[in-house]
Amino acid sequence: MNVLILGSGGREHVLAWKASQSAKIDKLYVAPGNAGTLEVADNVSINVKDFKEIGKFCVDNKIDIVVPGSEDPLVEGIVDFFRDEPQLQSIYVFGPDKQAAQLEGSKEYAKEFMLENDIPTAGYRSFTSESFDEAKQYIAQKPAPYVLKADGLAAGKGVVICDTLDAANQVLEEMLLDEKFGSASSTVVIEDFLQGIEFSIFAMSDGENYIILPEAKDYKRIGEGDTGLNTGGMGAVSPVPFMTEDYLKKVEQEIIAPTFDGLRKRNMQFVGFVFFGLINDNGQPKVIEYNVRMGDPETEVVFPRIASDFGEWLELAKNKRLKDANVDIRPDTCTTVFTVSGGYPEAYEKGKQIQIDTTNSDEQLVFHAGTKMSEGDIVTSGGRVIAVSAFGKNIPSALEKSYQGVKGVQFDAMYYRTDIGKDLINL
């Protein structure tokens, strides 16, 4: 079969790398892809939101399965678009439709869904500009810190945590009255603050069955010790040490199974990946958020651990037989460290030539994110540039290899965090 992956980040390079090893897949394309996906697939220069062009490409190239990497095309309805076009109906898009994508596209929708299905999560209320005064009263009786979330997609910037009531009131006003995030903040969810280690677990669903993928922890802030501005992610580790068999059982019984049951109750056949963003609140896993796709950089540590054939999983999913999938997970620890452009996540320069001396092996993998080819050279084209994933018997030995691999990557003003995974070592 022929497969088209949509996206151009590290996650899509990993998915393409994994798919390229499948005995089931003949032709593999990535749109638009990056300099890394070129090594394992054909890049196609189409924007992930240009559904018409994507559809045309799929027909012309006899694509059987489309795998959207990021949330944008899903929340904008690529699944619905393919379903409504007679010519495209037979092509399987491995992702949720627009309605099911609301689990990620609307924080309020996700919270209501969790409440309805008794899924553990932080207490909350949501407000609009009309209930602005009530919102102020609501937070005034709450202890600090305050968690304010713009309801809609806001490029990862829609969640603000405030230490003081004054700051919270100001953010509330910016979001609700000044529409700081446009229509994304016309509704604001105010949540109770939870304390604990955050981690993520992933499931892959065909609408009727699901399989659980390994968990991971990512490192979001730009600075050492998890300080400074939020980024797309500076590194990740899988597995996480407190994920014992019992804990996983708890997560499955209290969170994963009720989520899929709840989706069925709403008559939604959820196809695709579910990312459960969790927090370990004194031994109780609680949901921080859902995403309707794999995480990036989590994919860079989760997928290398999957020994099974990804093409086979996709084919089984297409036939609603994912329950027959062989789920073979490598027990070793995998870590990834991201190299980023100097200045990121604020302004940074692009077009820097990249030198990569690290070679891929069973133990060490170089994944591209913000890279592209320019006159025969690999150059930077984004904030997060190259991730080096590596295996080890434990976190320190995997990290040692990730950092060794990072030493073989060079570009002007390159930066990376040196403390990825360190907080998990003595847990």
Which 275-314 residues touch ligand ADP, going by CB under 6 A?
A: 277, 288-289
β-pairing, 92-93 with 65-68? parallel
List 49, 178, 193, 342, residue binding ligand ADP (CB under 6 A): 193
Give the x/- contact pattern for ligand ADP in 163-192, rule: CB under 6 A.
----------------------------x-
Q: Which helix (H) or strand (E) holds 310?
A: helix 310-318
**Is residue 201 within the footprint of ligand ADP (CB under 6 A)?**
no
Distance of alpha carbon 125 from alpha carbon 123, whole angstroms: 7
Give the shortest CB-216-to-ligand ADP separation in angstroms. 13
CB count within 10 Å of CB 123 equals 11
Kindly determine how many residues on this chain lie close enough to bind ligand ADP according to the rule CB under 6 A: 13
Distance of alpha carbon 33 from alpha carbon 47, whole angstroms: 10
Give the shortest CB-145-to-Mg ion separation in angstroms. 17
Give the shortest CB-150-to-ligand ADP separation in angstroms. 9
Give the x/- contact pattern for ligand ADP in 117-136, rule: CB under 6 A.
-----x--------------
Q: Nearer Cβ to ligand ADP, position 149 or 401? A: 149
List 1, 59, 165, 194, residue binding ligand ADP (CB under 6 A): 194
Distance of alpha carbon 12 from alpha carbon 6, whole angstroms: 7
Q: Is residue 276 packed enough to be buried (19+ CB in 10 Å), middle (13-18) or exposed (0-12)?
A: buried
Distance of alpha carbon 383 from alpha carbon 132, whole angstroms: 36
Distance of alpha carbon 72 from alpha carbon 160, whole angstroms: 22
Give the x/- contact pattern for ligand ADP in 314-353, rule: CB under 6 A.
----------------------------------------
Q: Does the N-terminal peptide bond of residue 86 adopt cis geometry, omega within 30 degrees of 0?
A: no
β-pairing, 28-32 with 42-43? parallel
394, 396, 401, 407: CA torsion to nearest 10: 160
Q: Nearer Cβ to Mg ion, position 39 or 192? A: 192
Binding residues for Mg ion, per CB under 5 A?
277, 289
Binding residues for ligand ADP, per CB under 6 A?
122, 147, 149, 156, 158-159, 191, 193-194, 198, 277, 288-289
